[in-house]
Amino acid sequence: MLFKSIQFVSPRFTTAPSPRLIVTGAVHGNEICGTVAINRIIKILEEGNLKLDRGWVTFIPITNPLAYEKKQRMGDRNLNRNLYPRKEPIDFEDKIANWLCPILASHDVLLDLHSFHTPGVPFAMVGPHDNTDRLEPFQFSQEEEALARCLGVSRLVDGWLETYANGVANRLQRQATGDVNIDTINANIKYGVGTTEYMRENGGYAITLECGQHDDALAPELAFNAILNTMAHLGMISGHKINYAQTVEGLRLSEVTDRFSPEDQFIKNWRSFDEIKANELIATRADGTPVLAPYDGRIVFPNPNALPGQEWFYIAKPTNRFE
């Protein structure tokens, strides 16, 4: 099974500043809107109907070919977790990481195209404020936010890695009380590092664009326009008009809840960003224990098919960061 990337380089690449953009699709094999959009852009570039004025752009239509072939989220494991090169790769995703990570590190900007399980409104995920903290130091938050506003969505979400690290702490606490087996958790607070987080660690900036539900016919079109808008925003193409979002809804991920058992069940078919009220019943555990909302907020990424020991749903709170 081969790994494949396609790169286009402008003859003016040596003219500074010259952006280096990478666009990825199918990091999760059942999220194919990015694959469709990327292949469409590649065809237009190859036919000469789109001119690259400056910089270089690398496209990876199918980042995880094993998961894509299986038409499922993962191959051997989730590629978008614990994404680091390995001296001794064990699973297929480790082999992808050894190929993918150096490519990411050689670029300035990443647009990572995804979709989600349940119906909902498309949104973009951005990184933290500029900071020098240990967990996720960063210095390009303004550039990242400006890019996010050109992608065709009006909802921006942050707080991913901090929330995931808190989730790991909760797993460790359950392990200490014997509620969860050590084989079902990962104790590394940076286990939540995926494509965008790795990009930020290596001096670039990145957006995860969630283009809609997996089977939404509009998702590939949103992904396609987002690629064009990104290239125009970075000055790589000309003649393409961008409609920047002036007003966006800001949400911050604040809590993650894991599924413990296959018998854990939601009480209804939740959609991403459904409103929840404090103490509202969200789900029940296999033993009948109710799972209640800790406060008013929104449910995000509800996954009724989550495996035991993995994220079941997130909760987000409003933030005024993007006002």
Identify whether 17 is preceded by a cis peptide bond (ω within 30 of 0): yes
What is the model's pLDDT at position 179? 62
Rg of the Cα atoms in the chain: 20
Q: Over 50: is that where the pLDDT of 174 sits?
A: yes
Least confident among 20-34, 53-67, 157-171: 157-171
Q: What is the pTM of this model?
A: 0.92
| Sequence letter at residue 158 | D
**What sign has the CA pseudo-torsion 264, 267, 268, 274?**
negative
94 C-beta neighbours (distance < 10 Å), count? 19
Provide the token pair at 211: 């283009």
Provide the token pair at 24: 């990825």
Q: Over 70: is that where the pLDDT of 158 sits?
A: yes
Query: Is 241 within 8 Å of 55 (Cβ atoms)?
Result: no
Least confident among 1-15, 44-58, 177-191, 301-315: 177-191
Q: Over 90: is that where the pLDDT of 178 sits?
A: no
Q: Once rounded to an integer, what is the mean pLDDT over residues 225-234?
A: 98
Q: Once rounded to an integer, what is the mean pLDDT over residues 268-296?
A: 96
Q: Which residues are CB-neighbours of 99 under 8 A, at least 6 positions away?
A: 3
Instruction: Grade residue 182 by pLDDT with cuts at 50, 70 and 90.
Output: very low
Provide the token pair at 310: 């993995």
Q: Once rounded to an integer, what is the mean pLDDT over residues 70-92?
A: 94
pLDDT digits (tens, 9 = 90+) for 195-205: 999 999 999 99
What is the model's pLDDT at position 31? 97
Provide the token pair at 263: 């018998």
- 3-state DSSP helix/strand/coil percent for the chain, to nearest 5? 25, 25, 50
Distance CA 129, CA 311 (A): 24
Kind plus residue range of the DSSP H or E element containing 266 = strand 265-266
Mean pLDDT of the chain: 92
Instruction: Grade residue 16 by pLDDT with cuts at 50, 70 and 90.
Output: low
Instruction: Considering only residues 276 and 14, tell me which one the structure prediction assigns the higher pLDDT.
Output: 276
Instruction: Grade residue 13 by pLDDT with cuts at 50, 70 and 90.
Output: confident
Q: Provide DSSP, 187-239.
A: --TTTT--HHHHHHHTT-EEEEEEEEETT-TTHHHHHHHHHHHHHHHTTSS-S
Distance CA 317, CA 299 (A): 9
pLDDT above 70 covers a percentage of the chain that reads 95
Distance CA 51, CA 8 (A): 10
pLDDT digits (tens, 9 = 90+) for 132-154: 998 899 999 999 999 999 999 99
